[in-house]
Amino acid sequence: MNERWRAIPAVADLMAAKETFWCNDALRPFAEVEQEMGRADIADAAARLQRFAPFIQKAFPETVEEQGIIESPLREIAATKEGMKALGAVPEGRLFLKMDSHLVVAGSVKARGGIYEVLKHTEEIALAEGLLGEDGDYAKLTDHRDVFAGYTVQVGSTGNLGLSIGITSAAVGYRVVVHMSNDAKQWKKDLLRSKGVEVKEYAGDYGKAVAEGRALSDADPKSYFVDDEHSVALFLGYSVAGKRLRAQLEEQGVIVDAEHPLFVYLPCGVGGAPGGIAFGLKQEFGDHVHCFFVEPVQCPCMIAGLATGEGEKICVQDLGLSGVTEADGLAVGRPSGMVTRMMQPLLSGCSTVEDGRLFDALRVLHECDDVFIEPSSCAALAAWQDMAKFEKAKEYIRCHGLAEKMPHATHIAWATGGRLVPEEIRKEYLVKKL
């Protein structure tokens, strides 16, 4: 263990498994980094999703009403804001829930990046195999399952990415293998198997599942491995959320500008989904959006990587932590190096949360606004409340000249999963206390 890390106050708290709030001193004005980023890449990803809309409608009839566009509601949860006051002080401003927990097909935020990467790979195969005629009718790809059956898609996952990749790939016709760590919930493994997906289980953590899956995929020339740690395609799929959120805010008359700041709270595992979303949000709103990640106290890999400057070279076990958490989607011991580097100038900060608070927030949301999300999704609500809890968070608000603007602020808790949770598991979560 590097004693230099212990000298960093936030890291010392991480090592003690204490809830903490970390401000990113490397955050830069967006004007300074805008040219280093790729708005054109996000536009390309959005265009590909639009091309595939007819295919998505045909493969997933539940998307017909939205014309093959997979997007989640943005809902104000004023009753939950009031209810959360029983658990402590809350920030000023309006509170919304971005309900990626209810995305069709995969029921989680992973539907964004996961579905996009599978479709991008499918497009490449379709072009190589001559499956797209002059009319470019993507809907006809559903007629070529026999061709896609000759290819394999593999992924390592703690749960929701596996569901996204597994369900989508199986619908296209691929042979699918999902490599799952022991943190993954049994119901997620059962659901995948019911879709014809092969699930390989590992006694180790997420890193072990990814390493084994990557090695097996690399040995097969007709296998494609979806890598949450390094995939640019996944990252860009998530980033499309920024432009779509702007449209939803405008539809609801929500202003985002210098006088009306936007705060977004994103549960974080390896970092791909929250990183991609934050990237897309910064492209849309620049310095007017403040993005915060949140992680379990036993799995704060992103804070560890950013606060120490070690990136993917550090894991939570290096800090003496177990890596074990009820928030299975966030049970990741080592962050994505790609994402830590991308987020270094863009991310406002991170906080950590004890598992018990996840279930407390879950009950409040369910009782007050009749919404169910996974416990790991509830980390976003805890992070929102942390803005009124930690002195470091209050310092961030003061230092960025936001104190007088907070009554006009908009807060968005990004719910990352929940729709596919079986009813009996929901009942267990709603009464669980730690």
In this structure, the answer to whether residues 225 and 246 fall within a common structural domain is no
Question: With 60 as the cut, is the pLDDT of residue 229 above it?
Answer: yes
Q: Once rounded to an integer, what is the mean pLDDT over residues 179-190? A: 86
Question: With 90 as the cut, is the pLDDT of residue 204 above it?
Answer: no
- The average confidence (pLDDT) of the chain is 93
Q: What is the pLDDT of residue 184?
A: 81
In this structure, the answer to whether residues 293 and 404 fall within a common structural domain is yes
Q: What is the pLDDT of residue 25?
A: 94
Q: Once rounded to an integer, what is the mean pLDDT over residues 96-105? A: 96
> How far apart, in whole angstroms, are the C-alpha atoms of residue 277 and residue 71?
13
Question: With 70 as the cut, is the pLDDT of residue 36 above it?
Answer: no
Spell out the SS3 assignment of the chain: CCHHHHCCHHHHHHHCCCCCEEECCCCCCHHHHHHHCCHHHHHHHHHHHHHCHHHHHHHCHHHHHHCCCCCCCEEECHHHHHHHHHHCCCCCCEEEEEEHHHCCCCCECHHHHHHHHHHHHHHHHHHHCCCCCCCCCHHHHHHCHHHHCCCEEEEEECCHHHHHHHHHHHHHCCEEEEEECCCCCHHHHHHHHHCCCEEEECCCCHHHHHHHHHHHHHCCCCEEEECCCCCHHHHHHHHCHHHHHHHHHHHCCCCCECCECEEEEEECCCCHHHHHHHHHHHHHHHHHEEEEEEEECCCCHHHHHHHHCCHHHCCHHHHCCCCCCCCHHHCCCCCCHHHHHHHCCCCCEEEEECHHHHHHHHHHHHHHHCCCCCHHHHHHHHHHHHHHHCHHHHHHHHHCCCHHHHHHCEEEEEECECCCCCHHHHHHHHHCCC
Residue 5 pLDDT grade (very low, low, confident, very high; cuts 50, 70, 90)? confident
Query: Domain holding 178: CATH number?
Result: 3.40.50.1100
Which residue among 211, 234, 257 closes a domain?
234
Structural domain harbouring 202 = 110-234
In this structure, the answer to whether residues 144 and 247 fall within a common structural domain is no
In this structure, the answer to whether residues 64 and 136 fall within a common structural domain is no
Question: With 60 as the cut, is the pLDDT of residue 1 above it?
Answer: no
Which residue among 184, 202, 234 closes a domain?
234
In this structure, the answer to whether residues 426 and 281 fall within a common structural domain is yes
Q: Once rounded to an integer, what is the mean pLDDT over residues 268-275? A: 94
Q: What is the pLDDT of residue 172?
A: 95
List, for residues 363-409, the tens digit of each pLDDT value: 999 999 999 999 999 999 999 999 999 999 999 999 999 999 999 99
In this structure, the answer to whether residues 280 and 420 fall within a common structural domain is yes
Q: What is the pLDDT of residue 228?
A: 79
Q: Once rounded to an integer, what is the mean pLDDT over residues 300-304? A: 96
Q: What is the pLDDT of residue 329?
A: 85
In this structure, the answer to whether residues 116 and 82 fall within a common structural domain is no
In this structure, the answer to whether residues 309 and 358 fall within a common structural domain is yes
Q: What total of structural domains would you count in the chain?
A: 2
In this structure, the answer to whether residues 426 and 284 fall within a common structural domain is yes
Q: What is the pLDDT of residue 158?
A: 77
List, for residues 116-168, the tens digit of each pLDDT value: 999 999 999 999 999 987 668 999 999 999 999 999 999 988 778 888 999 99
List, for residues 284-298, the tens digit of each pLDDT value: 999 999 999 999 999
Per the CB < 8 A criterion, the answer to whether 15 and 345 are in contact is: no
Percent of the chain's residues with pLDDT above 70: 98
In this structure, the answer to whether residues 230 and 262 fall within a common structural domain is no
| 144-154 residues labelled b (16+ CB within 10 A) or e (exposed) | beebbeebbbb
In this structure, the answer to whether residues 211 and 278 fall within a common structural domain is no
Q: What is the pLDDT of residue 38?
A: 67
In this structure, the answer to whether residues 346 and 251 fall within a common structural domain is yes
Which residue among 234, 254, 270 closes a domain?
234
Percent of the chain's residues with pLDDT above 90: 82
Q: Most confidently modeled of 100-114, 133-147, 245-259?
A: 245-259
Q: What is the pLDDT of residue 402?
A: 98
